[in-house]
Chain A
Amino acid sequence: MAPILEVRSAVKRFGGVAAVNRVSLALEKGRIYGLIGPNGSGKTTLFNCITGVDHVDEGLILLNGLRVDRLKPHQIFHLGVGRTFQVIRVFPELTALENLLVVTTAGYAEARGRAEELLVRVKLERLAGEFAGNLSYGQQKLVEFIRVLMTDPELILLDEPAAGVNRTLLNDLLDAVRALRDQGKTVLLVEHDMKVVMGLCETVFVLDHGEKLAEGAPGVIQADERVIEAYFGR
Chain B
Amino acid sequence: MRRTLPVALGFLAVALALYPLEATGYGLRVGLQLFMWIALAQSWNLISGLTGYVSFGHVVFFGTGAYTASLLVNAGMPWPLACLSGGAAGALLALIIGWPCLRLKGPYFAIAMLGLNEVMRVIVSYAEGLTGGGNGLSLPTLDASRSIYYAMGLVAAAVTAVTYAIVTSRFGLRLMTIREDEVAAEAMGIDTLRYKIYAFMLSAIGPGIVGGLSARDQGYIEPISVFPLIMTITMIVMALFGGKGTIWGPVLGAVVLFIFQEAVWARFVYLHQLLFGAIIVAVVLLMPRGILGVLQQKYNLPRTI
Contacts and interface: CB of A to CB of B under 8 A. Distances in A.
B249 to A, nearest CB: 14
Question: For A85, A103, A104, which residue has the most chain B Cβ atoms within 10 angstroms?
Answer: A103
Interface string B173-203: 1101101110111111111100000000000
B189 A78 contact: yes
29 contacts: A52-B186, A53-B183, A73-B183, A74-B186, A74-B192, A77-B187, A77-B189, A78-B189, A82-B188, A83-B187, A85-B184, A85-B187, A89-B181, A89-B184, A91-B176, A91-B180, A91-B181, A92-B180, A93-B180, A94-B173, A94-B177, A94-B180, A101-B170, A102-B170, A102-B174, A102-B185, A103-B188, A103-B189, A151-B189
A58 to B, nearest CB: 23
A185 interface: no
Interface residues of A, number: 27
Interface string A90-128: 111110001001111100100100000000000000000
Given A74-B192, A101-B170, A102-B170, A91 B177 contact: yes
Interface in A46-80: 51-53, 72-74, 77-78
B187 A102 contact: no
A84 to B, nearest CB: 9
B243 to A, nearest CB: 13
A31 interface: no
A3 B173 CA distance: 36
A92 B179 CA distance: 10
A147 interface: yes
A90 B181 CA distance: 8
Nearest to A153: B189
A79 to B, nearest CB: 10
A102 B186 contact: no
Given A74-B187, A147-B188, 20 more contacts: A53-B183, A53-B187, A77-B187, A77-B188, A82-B188, A89-B184, A90-B181, A90-B184, A91-B177, A93-B176, A93-B180, A94-B173, A102-B174, A102-B177, A102-B188, A103-B189, A104-B189, A105-B189, A111-B170, A151-B189
Contacts of B192: 74
A53 B192 CA distance: 13
Contacts of B184: 85, 89-91
Contacts of B176: 91, 93-94
B188 to A, nearest CB: 5
A2 B180 CA distance: 38
Contact of A74 (B173, B180, B191): B191
Contact of B186 (A73, A90, A94, A147): A73
Nearest to B174: A102
Interface of B: 170, 173-174, 176-177, 179-181, 183-192
Contacts of B177: 91, 94, 102
Interface string A161-192: 00000000000000000000000000000000
Contacts of A90: 181, 184
Given A73-B186, A91-B184, A102 B191 contact: no
B146 to A, nearest CB: 42
A102 B190 contact: yes
A77 B188 CA distance: 6
Contacts of A98: 173
Contacts of B180: 91-94
A12 to B, nearest CB: 17
Contacts of A102: 170, 173-174, 177, 185, 188, 190
A175 B92 CA distance: 52
A51 B187 CA distance: 7
Contact of A101 (B173, B186, B187): B173
A53 B186 contact: yes
Contacts of A151: 189
Nearest to A157: B187
B288 to A, nearest CB: 13
A82 B186 CA distance: 11
Contacts of A91: 176-177, 180-181, 184-185
A90 B189 CA distance: 14
A83 B184 CA distance: 9
A111 B189 CA distance: 15
A216 to B, nearest CB: 30
A82 B176 CA distance: 20
A78 B174 CA distance: 16
Contacts of B189: 74, 77-78, 103-105, 151
B170 A73 contact: no
A102 B191 CA distance: 12
A85 B174 CA distance: 19
A89 B178 CA distance: 12
B190 A74 contact: yes
